[in-house]
Amino acid sequence: MASDIFNKILNRKLDTFRSVFMEDSESIFKIEDKLFHPQEFGVYRERVLSDLLKTIINESIDIKDGFIITSKNKVSTQSDLILFNKNNTPVINDGILRFFPIESVYAIGEVKSIIRSKSELKEVLIKLSNQKKLDNDLISQIKGEDSQLITFLVCKKIDYNFTENFNDIYENIENEYRHNFILSLEDGLIAYSFDREYLSEENKLIYDKSFTENENPLYWNPVSKGDLLKTVISRKTVEDEYLHIKIFLNGISSALNHIKRPRVELQEYYL
């Protein structure tokens, strides 16, 4: 049974999130339909999303913007949201920019307004994919799909006729580097599902032992035991206009509860 108290608190935060993300930010930063101060416009939405995420994440996790670095001298492009272990993150900055060792990072998020074309969506997803590949430089490798970086995109709307097939976007890119979540406030949540038809024969046996017939539970990872899972879209309903956002929050929370990251060995970064 759900908690009425928690639901009231969460729904109040969701009201604020939707209002600021979809309406207030545009009224503040647009004059006669023209955007001014675009950087502040983006930062405003990032802060609103960050506040919402903090409702469901552990207090040991913090959220900032910045860059990710590795001990093998690689650096990411700037990330809108970096979810990191604040108890396992040395302060690395030059007074202006923040840098996070890859070992301390749990998740990376990009925040956009309206995605107007397939090429624009591809640009964002390839950026997230490249950031996910930084995991290859972890000081000590922790094996398993649950140990990988979590990546997500949150936008107001995908304003073209997109499909649930992302194969052409991720052409020549390993499946493990695909996004975990795409949340479009107007379109729904794009995630993954355990659909038996998409599994190898070996994994079908595992599925049959774990789930009932026609049960297709959502999953936060694009891959399970080597199989690329089915992409699915969860939409809001008449009964609950925030259903897709709640499923997104649940997916992020579940993924963060399962992810395993090694300790930061800072000497590897300068010796």
pLDDT in tens, 204-245: 888 888 887 777 788 889 998 889 999 999 988 878 889 999
Task: Over range 102-130, report the average pLDDT.
Answer: 95
**Is residue 28 predicted with pLDDT exceeding 70?**
no
Task: Over range 130-139, report the average pLDDT.
Answer: 93
**Is residue 26 predicted with pLDDT exceeding 70?**
no
Better-scored residue on pLDDT, 231 or 147:
231
The reported pLDDT for the residue numbered 30 is 55
Closest CA to 226 of 247, 255, 201: 201
The reported pLDDT for the residue numbered 118 is 94
**Is residue 34 predicted with pLDDT exceeding 60?**
no
pLDDT in tens, 71-108: 999 999 999 999 999 998 887 888 888 999 999 999 99
Judged by DSSP in three states, 162 sits in coil
Judged by DSSP in three states, 103 sits in helix
How many residues make up the chain in this entry? 271
Contact of 56 with 252, CB cutoff 8 Å: yes
**Is residue 31 predicted with pLDDT exceeding 70?**
no
Contact of 192 with 232, CB cutoff 8 Å: yes
Comparing 42-46, 146-150, 260-264, the range with the smallest average pLDDT is 42-46
Task: Over range 138-146, report the average pLDDT.
Answer: 73
The reported pLDDT for the residue numbered 69 is 96
The reported pLDDT for the residue numbered 170 is 96
**Is residue 174 predicted with pLDDT exceeding 90?**
yes
Confidence (pTM): 0.90
Distance CA 60, CA 84 (A): 8
